Amino acid sequence: MSEQTRPDLKRLFIETYGCQMNVYDSERMRDVLSPLGYAITERPDDADLVILNTCHIREKATEKVYSEVGRLRAHKERRVAEGKGMTIAIAGCVAQAEGEEIIRRAPAVDLVVGPQAYHKLPELIARAARKTGERLAADFTAQEKFDALPARAPDGVTAFLSIQEGCDKFCTFCVVPYTRGAEFSRPLADVLSEAQSLVDRGVREITLLGQNVNAYHGSGGSGFADLLRRLAGIDGVERLRYMTSHPVEMDDELIALHGEEPKLMPYLHLPVQSGSDRILKAMNRKHDGAFYRDIIARLRKVRPDIALSTDFIVGFPGETDKEFEATMQMVRDVTFASAFSFKYSPRPGTPAASMMAQVAEEAMSERLQRLQALLFEQQRSFNESQIGRVLPVLVTGDGRRPGQKHGRSPYLQSVHFDDTRADNGDIVEVRIDHATQNSISGARHEMATA
């Protein structure tokens, strides 16, 4: 019987906002609900259960949730009139931070579930369906959640693996230490066995996730570099990546590993936020610009082709034109293969939100535009620098047209290439002959496959 015609099948729509951590969590929520007969639908209007997995990092991200609930309400009312109903659940960091507020502001929402309580979803949904009107708090520890979630069912050759959650760094602009709580690392053995099970199901590239992933400290005192080495030792793990890192946790051992371990891909996302020392201090980033530049220089020494990515905030309270110019100079000095940049957004409860001298909107917009123009130019020229090279590409699927495949370069670039032979999961050599700002393309190299 096809999935569509099974009468016991329920439809689940999950919308994911924000970071990769949420992407990972959404997959786990899907897995925990699948034994209950929930199958993914692409259409929210058609769903028995809608989960919005939310992000609280900037105001815009938070507001999106409320406008989406507004849209869902109409679908829900129609379904209720048809005698079918729809359960609406808010998960993620907005749920954690604004649980009460959501219930008050959005009566269409049936349940609110924070990031540490996803393993309780089946029970919560059953209760909501009985219309007890209960709300659910996220007062479970991260380890309880990891233990209770079922084995993963990855659906591709690349996968995320969450190894660490939370943050103790308390950057003055950031809500994460409040929403995701204190730093917590999963035990080494659990991470290794999850990696093994991913590989057994066909995964070739694993991206380790955590809010401060390189602050990982496993049981028995094993550090992050040690974990990476052990993962690289698993047969079938072909490629490793990690995000998001904090510069102060880039220790000597980890930097050296980038030169020693071929499975560790030559790409690193290392947020710097600003190029101005005064702003970095006000942000409580715990390092200055010279420290960041030094890490980059050391990484490039051991791995000359390493591609770098970062995050910037423009318009942090009190940022002057001159301080913004220091950020522009940092970009020119380091050169990034890609980057994310944001206007500062005051977040409730964070120290920066109550700082004097918030920067005017127009100044922020102008700075963001200038910064992004420079970053995009660097991204394009990084992609163009691959033209003429032969890159090992992990095949992830079919391309846009017949005779074409899609894959991922060591530098996390999206690659389209002409080929008919390769299977998903193969690593093949591709000669690059074209580049745009967002991707590169070429053809399978005649000579050899990796």
Q: Which is nearer to ligand 5AD, 211 or 396 (CB)?
A: 211
Q: Which is nearer to ligand 5AD, 140 or 376 (CB)?
A: 376
Rg, Å, the chain Cα set: 23
Residue 215 CB, nearest distance to ligand SF4 (Å)?
A: 9
**Residue choice 173, 267, 336, 417 for contact with ligand 5AD (CB under 6 A):** 173
d(CA 426, CA 435): 22
DSSP 368-420: HHHHHHHHHHHHHHHHHTTTT-EEEEEEEEE-SSTTEEEEE-TTS-EEEEE-S
Residue 286 CB, nearest distance to ligand SF4 (Å)?
A: 9
The helix, strand and coil proportions of the chain, stated in percent and rounded to the nearest 5, come to: 40, 20, 35
Residues 265-284 interacting with ligand 5AD (rule: CB under 6 A): 271, 273
Residue 9 CB, nearest distance to ligand 5AD (Å)?
A: 37
Q: Which is nearer to ligand 5AD, 88 or 359 (CB)?
A: 359
* CB proximity list for 436: less than 8 A, separation 6 or greater: 380, 383
Task: Report whether 116 contacts 145 (CB < 8 A).
Answer: yes
DSSP 141-159: -HHHHHHHSPPP---SSEE
Instruction: Phi first, then psi: give them for residue 333, nearest 5 degrees.
Output: -70, -45
Q: Which is nearer to ligand SF4, 174 or 395 (CB)?
A: 174
Residue 175 CB, nearest distance to ligand SF4 (Å)?
A: 7
**Residue choice 11, 28, 56, 58 for contact with ligand 5AD (CB under 6 A):** 58
d(CA 399, CA 421): 13
From the list ligand SF4, ligand 5AD, none, which binds 344 (C-beta under 5 to 8 Å, kind-based)?
A: ligand 5AD
Decide: is 160 part of the binding site for ligand 5AD (CB under 6 A): no
**Residue choice 249, 277, 311, 418 for contact with ligand 5AD (CB under 6 A):** 311
d(CA 280, CA 310): 14
Residue 413 CB, nearest distance to ligand 5AD (Å)?
A: 21
DSSP 272-304: -B-S-HHHHHHTT-SS-HHHHHHHHHHHHHHST
Q: DSSP secondary-structure letter at 423?
A: P
Q: Which is nearer to ligand SF4, 176 or 257 (CB)?
A: 176
Binding site for ligand SF4 (CB under 6 A): 167, 169-171, 174, 176-177, 211-212, 246
- What x/- string results for residues 318 through 347 when contact with ligand 5AD is judged by CB under 6 A? ------------------------x-xx-x
From the list ligand 5AD, ligand SF4, none, which binds 146 (C-beta under 5 to 8 Å, kind-based)?
A: none
Q: Which residues in this chain contact ligand 5AD in the complex, by CB under 6 A?
A: 57-58, 173-174, 271, 273, 311, 313, 342, 344-345, 347
